[in-house]
Amino acid sequence: MIWGLGSLELRVFKTLCSEPQGDYGKSMASHLGLKESAVSRALTALAGKKLVVLERSGKRKLAVVSDASHALALKAFFVACPHVDAGVLAHSSIRVLSGLLFPNASVARVRRVGFLREITVRRVLSKLLDAGVVGRRSANDYYILLPLLQKAVEEYVSFAVMQSKQDVNGSLISRGPYGFIRTGAEKVPSFMTPTGLSVLSEFGVKVIQTDFEDYYYNVFGSVKRPCLEEAIVHALLRSTLLPSAREASYALLALHKNKKKVSEEKFFVVAGDLGVEGAARQSLEFVDAFAAGHEIKHSVGDDFLRVQGPVFPGFEEFKELIAQYG
């Protein structure tokens, strides 16, 4: 499914937001000055994205805003900000906004996360700035200005990630338009690519094999086989959510074993795209301190996924892990 929202879809949805009891396609078409067939197509598209529900009322279809969290979040934004033209959020805007969900969002990050050309990113950002829904802290640091819009974008892309996994069961983490799933399924869609613990053996870490594999994907484009830096960050991402040292330990082993090969710049770029720069920084500090023989403690992390941040092993435990798996 194409997860972008068309300008007509958004106009129709915004109109529905002001109709608590719903509306019919014919009356909405008259109100918007559009053909009924065009409104009908927009409603069908919105229903496919679970933003509206179409109910039969005699021979006619009554359209109402869905009670799904992403629909309610988008409705809350339009109700609170009626002055914002719905068309501002159309087409590539959702892709661009999804790249602004984490701090220090640059044009380059938005381009990577949204699978967009730089010229498109700059054009859309200019439009969003003019509309007053996006702000800029510096020449290349953008952010979503309105909290309700931030919430709406978060909910919408999270829904897209969830829907895109189809019928694959597993533990899913949504980070912007990226989905990270651990599953025991024998077969997964072709757009899901192995990552994290499932590929660390390619970088010299003897990961204990289980019945589960880690995959990732992006709802806006096809992801490639992860490089070293990506594989480590993807393992760290899961460790920031779980009260277990397993993922963090394997990530640290890969970082320790490949320290001379890892590009720190790329490592932090990947971590920044997923909002886990703090975990990445702590990991490098741990490996550097271990090499120098100066043990450090990480009691509190600064990532907002989990207050404690990743759970790191002690130095003695890490020595044993290196002997066994490194």
> Where along the chain do its domains lie?
7-71, 84-154, 165-325
pLDDT at 326: 64
pLDDT at 307: 37
Residue 94 contacts residue 3 (beta carbons within 8 Å): yes
Confidence grade of residue 32 (pLDDT, cut at 50, 70, 90): confident
By DSSP bridging, strand 134-138 and strand 60-65 are unpaired
Q: Is the pLDDT of residue 193 over 90?
A: yes
Quick one: tokens of 146? 């309105």
pLDDT at 295: 67
Quick one: tokens of 18? 């002001």
Q: Is the pLDDT of residue 300 over 50?
A: no
Do 7-71 and 84-154 show the same overall fold? yes
Quick one: tokens of 145? 């200005």
Distance CA 255, CA 257 (A): 6
Q: Is the pLDDT of residue 10 over 60?
A: yes
pLDDT at 316: 84
Long-range CB pairs of 103-108, under 8 A, 24+ apart, other chains included:
103/143, 103/272, 103/275, 104/141, 104/272, 104/277, 105/141, 105/142, 105/143, 106/140, 106/141, 106/142, 107/140, 107/142
Quick one: tokens of 77? 């934004």
Q: 187-199: buried (b, 16+ CB within 10 Å) or exposed (e) per residue? A: ebeebbbbbbbbb
1 or 4: whose pLDDT is higher?
Answer: 4
CATH number of 84-154: 1.10.10.10
Distance CA 59, CA 16 (A): 20
CATH number of 7-71: 1.10.10.10
Distance CA 150, CA 134 (A): 10
